[in-house]
A and B are shown apart, each in its own frame.
Chain A
Amino acid sequence: MKLKTASKLPALLTVVEAQPLTDLAEVELKGCYISDLLSDVLANAEPGVLWVTIQIHRNVVSVASMKDITAVLFTCGRKPEPDIIAEAAEKGIMLLSTTLTTYETAGKLWKAGLR
């Protein structure tokens, strides 16, 4: 039961103390993928997941869009430029940012039941 609630996006917001950068929809995440290498994400991420990365440039949005990734969570307090956020919103990709490190973020997400 806890697992199911924890895989929903707005619920995870509190878990990782994240701030939404775009509008967030009530969606179920199919899992999580963590990588700062774009080709790695292109090769290995599944569609519908949350992608955790410190990369904040435009290509993150391109890669996320290409892989039909549901949401991207930026760690270490990093935030993309407003025009990149706008581009993501336009492509239907949700963006969040947390001040936690990637390691802390991963631990909390795992503990919350996002597998």
Chain B
Amino acid sequence: MTLGVPVEKKKAAARVAQNANGHKRFRSAHARLAIAARKPVIPPTGTLKGGMPGDPATLEPAIPAPAVERAPNPAEKRQVSLAQMLVFELRVRDAMTSPPITAIATDSLRSIQNLMKAHRISGVPILANNVLVGIVSIEDIINALDSGHINEPVEPWMSRKIVTLRDHFSLVRAVAEFDRHGYGRFPVLDANNQLVGVITRGDITICLMHQLERRAEEAVAKEAALVATRAADEKAHRIVINTDVKSGDFESAGKLSQRIREVLRARGVAPEILRRAAIIAYEAETNIIIHSLGGRINTSIDAIKVRIKAIDRGPGIENVDLAMQEGWSTAGPLARELGFGAGMGLPNIKRCADEFVIQSELGGGTRLQAAVFLQKAGTTL
């Protein structure tokens, strides 16, 4: 029996078959269908009646089909399961050709033959007053050519014994019906008994292939998205460095900024931006060493910015505005001897920072917060 696969779908089938993976899935889908076809799982349902106009016999919805037995090869388990899932999940309306190519009862068999040729189909439902009254297959046409009634109207020659499927039936049920009746196609009716399509085995295969391909693409896309997200997370992964800074510990100065430089360099941050972050950390660190009783620097680095928070335990800055002036310093002789106390620390920090806040209170502590954005070019130092 010829499968009435319309040209469009044949092209689609060829496209899918070109894809190596698609081809594999195609075979798998076939295998699955073959299993389903060999083992009808649907209890016999529906009635077959001579179709009176307006009363087409229809298979009524069946009891939900039990699960089909598992395919034996565990390696194929996933694919078979997916195909299996799909034949239950997909409906006849998902696979059918719609709208269907139809003819009316008064048309000649010759015109139907031409219709089949033109659309490359092998069966045509016949309507009378928009109601399905019969069906003509390519065999009927061959018989007509043989017997010489090809130019007669179709009505007396069409098959009135019509089995239809409902558009909401599952594909697994459709497959079982094909197997049971041996027809090449079924007209498909909607809930209002209107003819909405025609379905063939080929339609089902192509539909499954497309679905499998789509699912596979979705799975690949999902996987790719997951990998991308993971990479972004990795990139955005925040590094927090909490450093205790001791008063007068000049030997340790620079370790934090060195660490910040290493992290930022590993992340491919531009040298200019990296330098600004390191200078802020260094100046904040030496400020605590030189001026305070000790403190702590909390640094957090993510994909967006470096945030440096320096908090000391006092004694606090008497006049923050003065401290922000270049050249103004309260550093002691030791610090000055070492080259600190130029009165440039805070102005340097402010200059390097994209965000800068300082709060201080004499007798209390100093709290400095600065941030450098990693993704935009800032002031060049």
Residues of A within 8 A of B (CB): 36-40, 42-43, 47, 53, 55, 57-63, 65-68
Contacts and interface: CB of A to CB of B under 8 A. Distances in A.
Contact of A55 (B253, B279, B338, B351): B338
18 contacts: A38-B340, A39-B283, A39-B344, A40-B342, A42-B279, A43-B348, A43-B351, A47-B275, A53-B339, A55-B339, A57-B250, A58-B251, A59-B250, A59-B340, A62-B257, A65-B261, A66-B278, A68-B271
B258 A65 contact: yes
Contacts of A65: 254, 258, 261
B345 interface: yes
Nearest to B285: A62
Contacts of B351: 43
Given A37-B344, A59-B250, A59-B254, A42 B283 contact: yes
A42 B257 CA distance: 12
A59 B275 CA distance: 16
Q: By CB atoms of chain A within 10 A, which of B258, B340, B342 has the most?
A: B342
Contacts of B339: 36-38, 53, 55, 57, 59-60
A96 to B, nearest CB: 18
A63 B250 contact: no
Given A55-B338, A66-B279, A39 B254 contact: no
B381 interface: yes
B279 A38 contact: no
B275 A68 contact: yes
A58 B251 CA distance: 6
A40 B254 CA distance: 16
B282 interface: yes
Contacts of A40: 342, 344
Contact of B344 (A42, A55, A66, A67): A42
Nearest to B272: A47
B342 A66 contact: no
CB-based closest 9 A-B pairs: A62-B254, A39-B344, A37-B342, A39-B342, A55-B339, A38-B339, A66-B278, A43-B348, A40-B342
A46 to B, nearest CB: 9
Nearest to B271: A68
A39 B338 CA distance: 11
A42 B254 contact: no
B260 to A, nearest CB: 10
Contact of A66 (B251, B275, B343, B345): B275
Nearest to A40: B342
A42 B258 contact: no
Contacts of A36: 339
Contacts of B341: 37
B8 to A, nearest CB: 65
Interface string B341-362: 1111101100100000000000
Contact of B338 (A59, A61, A67, A68): A59
Contacts of B271: 47, 68
A39 B340 contact: yes
Contacts of B282: 42, 62-63, 66
A61 B279 CA distance: 13
A43 B379 CA distance: 12
Nearest to B260: A66
Nearest to A84: B251
Given A43-B348, A43-B351, A43-B381, A38 B258 contact: no
Given A40-B344, A43-B381, A58 B261 contact: no
Interface in B267-286: 271, 275, 278-279, 282-283, 286
Contacts of B347: 43
Interface in B237-274: 250-251, 253-254, 257-258, 261, 271
B48 to A, nearest CB: 89
